[in-house]
Amino acid sequence: MAEPMTNAVITSRDNRYVKLARALAAKKQREAAGLFLSEGLNNVREALQSALTPAFLLYDAERADEPRIAELLRLAGAKNCPTYAVAGAALQSVSPAETSQGLLLAVNLPQTSLEDFAEQAAGRSIALLDGLQDPGNVGTILRTAWAAGLGGVLLANGCADPFAPKVVRAAMGAVYHLPVLACGNEQAEELLQKLGLPLWAADAGGEDFRRVSAAGSVCWLLGREATGPSAFWRGRAAKTVAIPMQPGVDSLNVAVAAGILFFAGVEERR
């Protein structure tokens, strides 16, 4: 991907780097290129400070002297990441955000295998997302799992792609540091058996989570707000727990529920 550096400013929306960055909005293109897009100052900093390998960085030519952008350009240089100055209009044509923060970083997709996930998650609780399709919820759950010290997150049954731009933005750095793996139901079940984790399903019909305790780490199962866990996973849950709510409230946002349960597990481990 790297090529000799030049001081020329990219002005065309048809430049190959601009076109490639724009294409990464689509999952098919991300998988074909082996890249995903990180956008924004904080996200780009997290990516550059992680163990993942950056591919190239596009920045707004008119904002290169801003201290925060200049700092990130230095970080990119330290990781031998090619950087390209782009005219503001061309860069905005790529940005998944309504208003670009002046930086877009293409990052190599992590190649996490079932064995890698098992090794990194060993001894800790994890989460299994079952058919969650809202990118904001998936990203927020990833961020919360990272904050709560979970060992990783599995995504099954057509979850939103964890490396889609909206998910990456909502995850606020989690995808660079937390093992995240999309897999089939059978693969996920095999992994849970390997890790020796009981499956605890979150569902409105379950037992008050405050009245149960785990002897060790668990796998938190989170299904869709409207329907709960799928039949495949519901039948495999060792325990079903619920978050008590006021009468008349029939559901809680799944990302909020995840935060309550993940941090309840942290307190229990203490």
d(CA 113, CA 76): 27
Q: Which domain holds residue 69?
A: 16-108
In a domain, 176, yes or no: yes
Nearest CA to 171 among 41, 28, 43?
43
Read off the tokens for 72.
């990130």
Of the three residues 70, 91, 108, the one that is the final residue of a domain is 108
pLDDT tens readout for residues 54-72: 999 999 999 999 999 999 9
pLDDT in tens, 160-214: 999 999 999 999 999 999 999 999 999 999 999 999 999 999 998 899 998 988 7
For 147, residues 6+ apart whose C-beta sits below 8 A from its C-beta are: none
- The three-class DSSP label of residue 87 is coil
pLDDT per residue as tens digits for the range 241-268:
999 999 888 788 999 999 999 998 755 5
> Rounded to whole angstroms, how far apart are CA atoms 86 and 89?
8
pLDDT digits (tens, 9 = 90+) for 205-244: 899 998 988 778 999 999 988 888 999 999 999 999 999 9
The per-residue pLDDT for 6 is 46
Domain boundary among 82, 108, 134: 108
pTM score, two decimals? 0.92
- Of 1-15, 106-120, 145-159, 192-206, give the lowest mean pLDDT range: 1-15
Residue 84 and residue 146 share a domain? no
CATH number (domain holding residue 215): 3.40.1280.10
Separation of alpha carbons 98 and 149, rounded Å: 32
Name which of 6, 36, 32 is nearest 21 in CA terms.
36
Query: E strands of 14-152, at which residues?
Result: 35-39, 54-60, 83-86, 103-108, 126-130
pLDDT at 105: 97
Domain boundary among 59, 86, 108: 108
